[in-house]
Amino acid sequence: MTGPAHTLPPELVAPAHWRSIEFISDVHLNADEPATAHAWKAYLAGTQADAVFMLGDLFEVWVGDDMLAAPDAFAADCVHALRQLSSRCALFFMHGNRDFLAGQGLMQASGARLLDDPTVLVLGSQRVLLSHGDALCLDDARYLAFRAQVRSAAWQRDFLSQPLAQRQALARALREQSQQEQAQRQASGLGYADVDAAAARDWLKASAAALLVHGHTHRPEPHELGDGLRREVLSDWDALASPPRAQVLRLHLQPGERLRLERQPLL
């Protein structure tokens, strides 16, 4: 594979009874944006999907699973909502660039299964490649260098050894820096970094898949890649934006194993 993926991705084989599967990403849950959290919890309570895939950046900040033991009512409320969903359907979680420190503690508390990035979802004879998408933004060299650093076992071990309050303070500082940098990119017309099309094609061909589903880039629309390959980009969530943003990508497996995709705006 071209880019950061050097081995073939693992496969998740869907049970035969799955007919409706939903994908979301980039919800960026945080206590400062209660309207978005409310919309997300309403979605969880109402979905009728057989499986829900959360493809990264569910949380704006996750600095370690010991957050679960902290007196944080917001985090506890979010995990409770996830647990209620996982009691009704299959729930999957993939790391994003904001919540890459989510571990088995969060998975056990929420009932979710942690997926590698990327992962191939096998639906009968159909194959769908799932990713958060940040590793494919090859033009953003500065971010990729940062990503490689913080995804290393040594960095994470050192970071998690610090007191929770210190980690939270550092995360807030990094968040503010990221917001300032993104504001500068928007002002200069650059917008969010986008996926490298050649790398996306390479990932799909190596995975024997025709469809890539990912988030991160905040460009919620289909993108044709040529040779029958395409990618579907998930939206970010912001209930107070104008217009509000909160989309779900729903995949239906219909008779004859034909896939049908639809986008559902929730707000």
The residues with which 55 forms a beta bridge, in sequence order, are 94
Q: What is the pLDDT of residues 22-61, one digit of tens each?
A: 999 999 999 999 999 999 999 999 999 999 999 999 999 9
Whole-Å CA distances, 22 to 61, 208, 215:
23, 22, 13
Q: Is residue 123 part of a domain?
A: yes
User: Where do runs of H (alpha helix) occur along the chain?
Assistant: 34-46, 73-86, 104-110, 141-150, 153-160, 164-187, 197-207
3-class secondary-structure state, position 152: coil
Q: What pLDDT is recorded for position 259?
A: 82
Indicate which CATH number applies to the domain containing 250: 3.60.21.10
Tell me the β-bridge partners of 114: 93
Q: Considering the domain boundaries, does residue 122 fall inside one?
A: yes
Is 157 part of any domain?
Answer: no
**Residue 218 resides in a domain:** yes
Q: Are 200 and 211 in contact (CB under 8 A)?
A: no
Residue 73 lies in a domain: yes
> How many angstroms separate the CA atoms of 219 and 127, rounded?
23
Instruction: Fill in the DSSP letter of residue 74.
Output: H
118 prior amide bond cis, ω within 30: yes
- Is pLDDT larger for residue 179 or for residue 14? 14
Contacts of 152 by beta carbon, 8 Å cutoff, 6+ apart: none
Q: Which of 137, 242, 130, 131 is nearest to 185 (CA)?
A: 137
Does some domain include residue 180? no
Average pLDDT score over residue span 162-175: 92
In a domain, 166, yes or no: no
Domain count, the chain: 1
pLDDT tens for 216-237 read 999 999 999 999 999 999 999 9
CA atoms of 96 and 132, how far apart (whole Å): 6
pLDDT at residue 72, rounded to an integer: 80
Average pLDDT over residues 175-200: 80
Residue 113: give the domain boundaries.
11-147+193-265
Residue 253 lies in a domain: yes
Q: What pLDDT band is residue 193 in, cutting at 50, 70 and 90?
A: confident
What is the pLDDT confidence band of residue 189, given thresholds at 50, 70 and 90?
A: low
